[in-house]
Structure 1
Amino acid sequence: MIQNILCYLEESEKAYPDKPAFSDEHTRLTYKELLSLSRRIGSFLGRKTGPRRPIPVMTEKNAYTLGAFMGIVHAGCFYIYLDAGQPSERLNRILNTLQADIMIADSPSLKAAGAISFAGEILDMGMLLSLGSDAEDPLLLASIRGQAMDTDPLYGIFTSGSTGTPKGVVVGHRSVIDFMEHFTEMFHITSGDVIGNQAPFDFDVSVKDIYSTLKTGASMEIIPKRLFSIPTGLLDYLCDKKITTAIWAVSALCIITTLNGFTYRVPEHLDKVLFSGEVMPVKHLNTWRSYLPDAMFVNLYGPTEITCNCTYHVVDRDFEPGSHIPIGLPFPNEKVFLLDGDDRLITGPGICGELCVSGTALALGYYRDREKTAAAFVQNPLNQDYPETIYRTGDMAYYGEDGLLYYHARRDFQIKHMGHRIELGEIEAALETVSGVGRAVCIFLEEKNKIAAFYEGEADKKMIAAGLEHLLPRYMFPNRYVNLPALPLTKNGKVDRQALRRLYG
């Protein structure tokens, strides 16, 4: 039984020592080089700090960063990637929460981060990369490994907190192992694949890229961030690197279709497209499938707190504009169910409830925050017989007549407007059926009591109103329409609703 994620790296190194594991625009690490580098870094870190301690990493996104991650795991610790482009105030809050002994950083990132305060020791990434073979300490590494447990933390990811303080989700080895054992098999990821990494390393979509690669002996190409604003360059990269697998945020896929990228070039090696993070617009999905008719397309759903994803749906048909793509069925190692407002189980079709998850893929909780952990990771109210922790996602979903799960909306995306309870997601879905509208996002401007619609496309207000006439009651019509060349995105590739509120509210 696999108890440590390093088993994936070691087995792949035995099978494919000279094969590229992780590559970026400038660097390539073979499996042999990756294992050697990570063992040297792990030995160095193991002399600096104790096991199960957090080690933040603030470096440029490249192959060497992944070597540092594996080095941290060799030291029996867990890694947290920090994006130096984030506001220094947020970085300081994260560092204050972690109370780490050491941090790994490089000079460009420290300069970009600005006024960060860290009381521990900052280790230069360049110094770690220069460690010689004599830095490796097999006895120390064996001792650390001997004390390791599969419930030990593997990584931490900080998500937004409603109070303004980021929440550090901590995920253990067992959760990732149990997820990956099913994920790679179900979606036919093998040693023959080249995975094109889009997601930032502080976004859990990247976890699927990294550990699918290590488990199967595949290769992972880190796609330069700048290419996601240059569709022709992005398509050239996908074709030239012969990318077979894209596990991307929805907005990254929509960049190509919004700008008609496929009329320039089609990445014919791409045979697996897995998307998550937001609702995939039907128009964009249908366009992707029309250009890659033989590829597998999978809609994935799940928050960071349940280790990447808890449900999936393999797309097997085109969808009509305005229809909903299922989030599908639970992964084999997870129990997914719906609870109504009185914590009663929902089993029938068409009834919305909060989506809840239990199983080995649950995160360990929020780092150094017992209160928030206790509020989100709770006893299953349906089980009065023994302890069973569930995670309450805050997402509303329902079963279709086909028995599949469908995402409805965030609990907090429901508004009250003109005396009516309205789901903003329903307006967005209707907008995206209108001719001349690409993607659309709605926000509620509470202080003005108005619904604002932001959209891409050439349609004007009159065209949109005419298109909505037979889709929505008048009280659900947006009060304001803002046409944008492109919707603003967060660093994780999701639509940045807060930016819309700040700029146009």
Structure 2
Amino acid sequence: MNRNILEYLEQTASCFPNKIAFEDERTSCTFKELEQRAQKLGSVLAAKVSVRQPIPIFMEKSINALAAFLGSVYAGCFYVLLDTRQPLIRLEQILNTLETNMIVTDQLHKGKLEKKGFAGKILCLEELEEETADIAVLEKIRKQAADIDPLYGIFTSGSTGIPKGVVVSHRSVIDFIDCFTELFQITDQDVIGNQAPFDFDVSVKDIYSTLKTGATMSIIPKRLFSFPTQLIDYLCEKEVTTLIWAVSALCMITTLKGFEYKIPGTVRKVLFSGEVMPMKHLNQWRESLPEAMFVNLYGPTEITCNCTYFIVDKTYEDILPIGEPFPNEKVFLLDEQEQLVEKPGIYGEICVSGTALSLGYYNSKEQTAKAFVQNPLNTRYAERIYRTGDLAYYNEENQLCFVGRKDCQIKHMGHRIELTEIESAIEKVEGVIRVCCVFDEANNKIVAYYEGNVEKRMIVKEIKLQLPAFMVPNVFRKVDSIPITKNGKMDRTLLKRMCTEEL
């Protein structure tokens, strides 16, 4: 069994040395070339950074970034990708948490850092690569390595206003990717079309499925996600077989009627996550690609990508299950009294235990202790679980069904309401393309933002057949498009701010 993620790279480079591993808009690299680049970078970085320390990387997603990631790992460290568009103050908050003032970048982005006013130490990739690899140093580092060593860190927004960094170990990624690639039959014959940013954990599935199996990963230019015909041309040109995308990216193609232009006929696997998939859009995808496998994935960053999956086996008009746990992961529901939920239809918080749990939040014992706790159902030995803050229930087939965030459960007119239930009802109305509901506490109003060619009165008429009056939104706002975050999720925070300003 593998103990270090670099064994994926080395084994695959041995089997497929001259096969294209990764390609971006400017260049491509074989598995052997990537291995050699990473070993060279690892040798140089090892002389500058102690093992198990973070190496911040300031680049756009690219082959350069991947080489820097794996070079960091060869140095016995873990990598943290920094969003090049974020302001200096947030960069500095992350670096303060990591306790470093060093950043690895390339020549293309060095100027951006300097323009932002970054005063720390900049290591330029091109200069680092002028050195030669020291295999003896790398072997010494590997002998000291353990599978619980950190592999990467991903920073998410924190409730305190300071970004919090989820740190994930080699063991967790190996445990997950071994199951992931086997379950969904990802092999060296696949071409994975990468949509996710590299500081979003969906990309972990793209990158490490490629390294594990010998597939090829094609980094899709971000701009194409605004032009569906160009995006579909790209998928066809690259003969992409596998899409592991955010829901919003899939919905963009159907919203803009991309399949009326062309069907990307080589696509055989479509795996989606990040938020609830609207049934109208999923059904259009399935009608256009009837031979493809569609998989609904669920899971927060803290548990290494995903903890449940559901292979779509029929047409759903209402609630799409999030399914069953991945192998070697325990997923269960706890009610408000911390009792196990087993009966269908009863809401509970999704809790997870198993090897895939992350190491916690970097340099934040207090936040880690709040989210990663002892299983209250187990008083006999230490069992660490992660409380997701998400609500779910079991349907009559004993499949888990996602409800929404605990903090998306609002109190309105004396009733507890799930905003996602309202969204589900509105999405069924003919003419509605996408919808996102927010709650304006100050004015005690439910506000629905929606895309589509339909009037408010028609929406209200339709949803009154499904929902009680107290769940019908007080305000409807028609928008050209629902704003999304850079990670491809509907931007509820921005909508809530818009709602406050408008009302």
TM-score range, shorter chain: over 0.9
Note the C-alpha offset of 1:317. Answer: 0.5
- Measure the CA separation in 1 of the matches of 2:27 and 2:441: 49
- Of 369, 392, 402, 1:407 maps to 402
| Aligned residue identity for 1:131 | E
**Is 2:302–2:386's contact at 8 Å kept on the other side of the alignment?**
yes
| TM-score (norm: length of structure 2) | 0.98
Which of 479, 494, 499 aligns to 1:484? It is 479
Distance 2:62 2:82 in 1: 13
Question: Which residue of 175, 178, 183 corresponds with 1:181?
Answer: 178
Distance 1:42 1:52 in 2: 13
Cα distance in 1 for residues equivalent to 2:119 and 2:366: 25
Matched with 1:53 is 53
| CA displacement at 1:280 relative to structure 2 | 0.3
1:179-225 Cα deviation digits (max 9, x unpaired): 01100000000000000000000000000000000000010000000
Q: Secondary structure at the match of 2:270?
A: strand
Is 1:230 aligned to residue 227 of structure 2? yes
Letter in 2 for 1:492: N
Identity of aligned residues (%): 60
287-296 or 441-450, larger mean C-alpha shift:
441-450
SS at match of 2:116: coil
Seen in structure 2, the aligned counterparts of structure 1 residues 493 and 32 have a Cα distance that, compared at 3 Å, is same
Counterpart of 1:484 in structure 2: which amino acid?
V
Q: Which residue of 2 aligns with 1:357?
A: 352
Structure 1: how far apart are the matches of 2:418 and 2:102? 46
Q: How many residues align?
A: 499
The equivalent residue for 2:364 is 369
1:392 correspondence with 2:393:
no
Query: For the residues of structure 2 that align with 1:437 and 1:57, how far apart are their CA atoms?
Result: 41
Q: Give the CA deviation at 1:8.
A: 0.3
Q: Report what 1:345 is aligned to.
A: 340
Gap change, CA 1:10 and 1:96, over 3 Å in 2: same
What is the rounded CA distance, in whole Å, between the counterparts of 2:474 and 2:111 in structure 1? 44
1:35 alignment counterpart = 35
**Counterpart code for 2:134:** D
**Structure 1 gap segments, 5+ residues each:** none
Equivalent residues in 2 for 1:9-408, closer than 5 Å:
9-100=9-100, 102-112=102-112, 114-115=115-116, 117=118, 119=120, 121-128=121-128, 130-132=129-131, 135-320=132-317, 323-408=318-403
State the one-letter code of the partner of 1:354.
E
- Report if aligned partners of 1:275, 1:300 keep a CA contact under 8 Å in 2: yes
Contact 1:53 1:100 in 2 (8 A): no
2:433 counterpart SS class: coil
Q: Residue in 1 aligned with 2:8?
A: 8
Contact 1:55 1:101 in 2 (8 A): no
Q: Give TM-score scaled by structure 1 length.
A: 0.97
| 1:456 partner SS | strand
Runs of 4+ off more than 3 Å: 107-119
**RMSD of equivalent CA atoms:** 1.1
- Any idea what SS the aligned residue of 1:439 has? strand
Unaligned runs of 5+ in 2: none
Distance between the aligned counterparts of 2:228 and 2:423, measured in 1?
Answer: 25
1: CA distance, partners of 2:365 / 2:458: 51
Q: Shift in Å at residue 116 of structure 1?
A: 5.3
How far, CA to CA, are the matches of 1:411 and 1:173 in structure 2? 31
Q: Is the 8 A contact 1:276 1:300 kept in 2?
A: yes
2:87–2:116 Cα contact (<8 Å) kept: no
Q: Contact between 2:440 and 2:499, CA under 8 Å: does it hold in 1?
A: no
1:441 counterpart (419, 436, 446): 436
Once residues 254 and 216 of structure 1 are traced to their aligned partners in structure 2, the CA distance between those partners, rounded to angstroms, is 28
User: Within 2, Cα distance between the matches of 1:232 and 1:107?
Assistant: 32
* Contact 1:313-1:329 at 8 Å conserved across structures: yes
Shift of 1:159: 1.0
